Amino acid sequence: MIMFASAESTVEDFEIRITSIRQLNDKTAMFAGVATSDNIVTDASTLIFVETHPDRLGGMEPAVGQHWEITGSCSKSTQRYERHSRPVLLVSATKAECIVPADHEALVKFISRDKDFAGISENKARKLIKAFPEAPHQAVLQNDVQTLADACDLTNKAAERLKDGFRKYHNIKYAKWLSNHGVPLSIVSRIIKYHDYRTIDLITENPWRLMDFGMPFDKASDIARQIIKSKDGEVSEEKYKTDPRRIIAATEDAMHKIASRGHTVATHRQIIKHLSDKHFDIKLAEAAIELAVRFKKLICVENRLYQLTGTYIHEAVIAKRLLKLTAIEQWSADEEKAYREALAETPFLNDNQKLATQRSVMYGASVITGGAGTGKTTVLRTVLSTYSSLGYTIQGVAVAGRAAMRMHEGTGCYSCTIAKYLRKDSPRHGDKYVLVIDEASMLDVQTMFALVTHLPDTARIIFVGDVQQLPSIGAGRVFADIINSNKVPVTILEKNERSEDSTGIPHYSECVIKGEVPKQLTMGNITFHDVCVDAIERTVDALVAKSNDETQVVGMTRKGFKNMAGIEQINRNVQATLNQDGKKISVSANGHHQFVDLRENDRVIFTRNNYDKAVWNGTLGTVHNINQRDDVYAEVHTDDGDIIEITHSMLFEMQLSYAITLHKAQGSQFKRIIITLTNTRMLDRSWLYTAITRAETHVDIVGPKELLLQAIATESKAMQRQTRLKSMLDSDFVVLKTKDDGTIWNIPKSA
């Protein structure tokens, strides 16, 4: 046995069962657990904290209930609570490896507590041990589902879950192999899930497959060198550079770089330019494109115009689905009666709004678009009332949580984020199902593809949004392409019904999107503060301090211009102004007491998806009830109406949100908006228009006059996006055929 004094000691190969994940990111892995082996001296209450770098986890992501073998330097500490204290063992791990416990009793607890075996109780786990006492792990992998179910008194579903869980741990050796080659933890789990036992063979065969799971080309190439060297020995530089696998991968990488600017197609010239940046001469670059087409990685859709095969499929499926929906045209006595009844509830609709209602009920796909306050929600409420009378099931979705909540409040239909909707099983509601997509300008091609493939074939789709707003972060301009194709019925709402003219918001935003400078830069409830960049922070502080309304600061970048007036700095300033005395979150990490700079009543935003908690990247909320109990440190009351308990790991998935970027604010409305102008690179009239129209009553624009004028003068960068969805819709294709050279034929309906 190893005895621990207060000084640091070293211990090898002791085992723990994880009880909580404290932190897990690209730089730090920290988890807590209890000892399951007897070569470490602790009493029953001792809590063990393990901290290490993610690269030392052997490619496995730690999770509650797992068993791990640890080697590292250790020291003792004490975790103090209000009424008691608890001994703590602090471990800085040089090695950490996930294991399946060999001891039968430990294996029973492992199965009953690990979420990968959810629903399998200790009693059921003991029946597994009784049925296969010699090698339960191997028995689960080798026997079929029915045999396991009969032997262990399990349902077939539980037996399948048991096999899936053990298969994951059987894959530890593949995860370790990837980790030893420098593949990051976040990518390892995705590869293992997809390739399973074929992982080593497939990655060895083509190391650039790592790019399919998010690894950058340069890093994949470094790993490829290692693998090729270990497999074939030294390879000449010339042979490596001209390796067909490498040059095809470089072409795909070029396409992904082009897609990051919003394009779904690329010209021959653009691809050559990106390849030349990687030191490809013109001959090698031409060969790379030719090979990529030959191996169906790229598709030549027109003369010297290319798409990634996956992107082509996405746009083609969207187009085909929408064309099928536009063929649905129905207006019988039932529709007329339901429409008249709904209209009686909103008799103030103008003719254009009535037309929008009729089109949305008549056709399988339709678009309602217009600027801020033109009555989109009112029209939608009438549309959905009509559909409800006709017996349709109605589902509302939006990219942003606040937009989904606003749709629910405005129309009464059940609404949620698209991310949450896609995690549900595909809806099954017969022929009468309507999906309403609000803030549709935020749709990228990948998200739209996910939606149309998730829906029943007979489901109708209504797109609602403002096409003038900032385009999606991801590639494509789905909403604009649908509108511009003239294949989907579109109604443009123009008359403003929401904002009174005295606010100035409708007129000001209309001037901006037209590229016209308003006669007065300050008018109505819009105030322009002409200040230099280094005075923006001061001005924002003063505005926030005297504001009584719900106020949201919207900025351009996190760091700002030369580290001035960025989102991060403004957040710190506003917190000090509004919530300096708020109770801080107190954290005991690895036995050391410290504070996290988040306070009770702070406004926060979640920065990553957390599926276990049903929280999505971009969810906004307010911190409440700071009072540590077990692994819960506070609550966040989200703007969607949910209450989220904040565990230790989630503390690192939140940021202050007094100031947020426009992409995070898009789809949301706030009483008052403060807009900061700092960055010329991303500034255009679409950005400014979107920022202004986030406000319901008041707008403050803060920054240099030349930046405001530049924004109004600069055409929206969305107009420069190269996409194919519009031309696919225009062609009315229904069949796809491939020529020998990889070129796609779009076969018109008339053919």
Instruction: Give the tens place of pLDDT for each residue, 289-301.
Output: 999 999 999 999 9
To the nearest 10°, the Cα dihedral for 140, 144, 146, 149?
0
* pLDDT at residue 101 in the model: 81
Instruction: Please check the confidence at residue 259 and state whether its pLDDT lies above 80.
Output: yes
Tens of pLDDT, residue by residue over 567-600, are 999 999 999 999 999 998 877 655 555 667 899 9
Residue 751: CA count within 13 A, CB half-sphere = 11
**Assigned token pair, 106:** 């430990």
The mean pLDDT of 339-353, rounded to a whole number, is 90
244 CB-contact burial (10 Å; exposed 0-12 / middle 13-18 / buried 19+): middle
Query: Hey, which of 402-406, 409-413, 524-528, 642-646 has the most confident mean pLDDT?
Result: 524-528
The mean pLDDT of 373-377, rounded to a whole number, is 85
Q: Of 462, 340, 322, nearest to 396 (Cα)? A: 462
Structure letter (DSSP) for residue 160: H
* pLDDT at residue 735 in the model: 39
Decide which of 42 and 605 is more confident: 605
Per-residue pLDDT band at 744 (split at 50, 70, 90): very low
* pLDDT at residue 570 in the model: 95
Which residue in the block uniquely carries the two structure tokens 């679409």? 686
* pLDDT at residue 142 in the model: 84
The mean pLDDT of 380-408, rounded to a whole number, is 91
Which residue in the block uniquely carries the two structure tokens 């004094």? 5
To the nearest 10°, the Cα dihedral for 358, 360, 366, 369?
80
Query: Hey, which of 56-70, 232-246, 316-330 has the most confident mean pLDDT?
Result: 316-330
Helical H segments across 412-477, by residue range: 418-422, 445-454
* pLDDT at residue 592 in the model: 55
Instruction: Please check the confidence at residue 344 and state whether its pLDDT lies above 60.
Output: yes
Q: What is the tally of helices (H) and strands (E) in the chain?
A: 28, 28
Per-residue pLDDT band at 734 (split at 50, 70, 90): very low
* pLDDT at residue 593 in the model: 56
* pLDDT at residue 740 in the model: 44
**Assigned token pair, 705:** 């006059």
Spell out the residues 6+ positions from residue 593 whose beta carbon is closer than 8 angstroms to its own.
Answer: 80, 586, 587
Per-residue pLDDT band at 41 (split at 50, 70, 90): low
Which residue in the block uniquely carries the two structure tokens 């917190």? 575
Instruction: Please check the confidence at residue 456 and state whether its pLDDT lies above 90.
Output: no
C-alpha span between 489 and 106 (Å, rounded): 63
* pLDDT at residue 309 in the model: 95
Q: Of 122, 91, 119, 121, nearest to 18 (Cα)? A: 91
The mean pLDDT of 406-433, rounded to a whole number, is 84
Strands 365-370 and 460-465: parallel
Q: Of 560, 648, 673, 651, nearest to 604 (Cα)? A: 651
Q: Of 115, 5, 42, nearest to 33 (Cα)? A: 42
Size of the chain, expressed as the number of residues it contains: 751
* pLDDT at residue 6 in the model: 47
In contact, 305 and 265? CB cutoff 8 Å: yes
Identity (one letter) of the amino acid at 502?
Answer: S
C-alpha span between 535 and 524 (Å, rounded): 24
C-alpha span between 578 and 580 (Å, rounded): 6
* pLDDT at residue 595 in the model: 67
C-alpha span between 210 and 724 (Å, rounded): 28
**Assigned token pair, 616:** 């999505």
C-alpha span between 703 and 540 (Å, rounded): 10
C-alpha span between 351 and 31 (Å, rounded): 62
* pLDDT at residue 168 in the model: 77
Instruction: Please check the confidence at residue 465 and state whether its pLDDT lies above 70.
Output: yes
From 565-569, 614-618, 633-637, 687-691, the region with the lowest mean pLDDT: 614-618
In contact, 33 and 16? CB cutoff 8 Å: yes
Per cent of the chain over pLDDT 90 is 47
Q: Of 49, 490, 16, nearest to 481 (Cα)? A: 490
Identity (one letter) of the amino acid at 280?
Answer: F
From 187-191, 272-276, 584-588, the region with the lowest mean pLDDT: 584-588
Instruction: Please check the confidence at residue 499 and state whether its pLDDT lies above 60.
Output: no
Q: Of 164, 257, 261, nearest to 211 (Cα)? A: 257
In contact, 69 and 111? CB cutoff 8 Å: no
With H, G, I as helix, E, B as strand and everything else as coil, classify residue 612.
coil
Identity (one letter) of the amino acid at 590?
Answer: N
Identity (one letter) of the amino acid at 743?
Answer: T
Instruction: Please check the confidence at residue 463 and state whether its pLDDT lies above 70.
Output: yes
Rg of the Cα atoms in the chain: 29
Per-residue pLDDT band at 40 (split at 50, 70, 90): low
Strands 460-465 and 433-437: parallel
Per-residue pLDDT band at 84 (split at 50, 70, 90): low
* pLDDT at residue 630 in the model: 67
* pLDDT at residue 487 in the model: 93
Q: Of 702, 718, 715, nearest to 666 (Cα)? A: 718
Tens of pLDDT, residue by residue over 19-37, are 888 888 888 898 988 888 7
Average pLDDT, the chain: 86
* pLDDT at residue 588 in the model: 63
Instruction: Please check the confidence at residue 58 and state whether its pLDDT lies above 80.
Output: yes
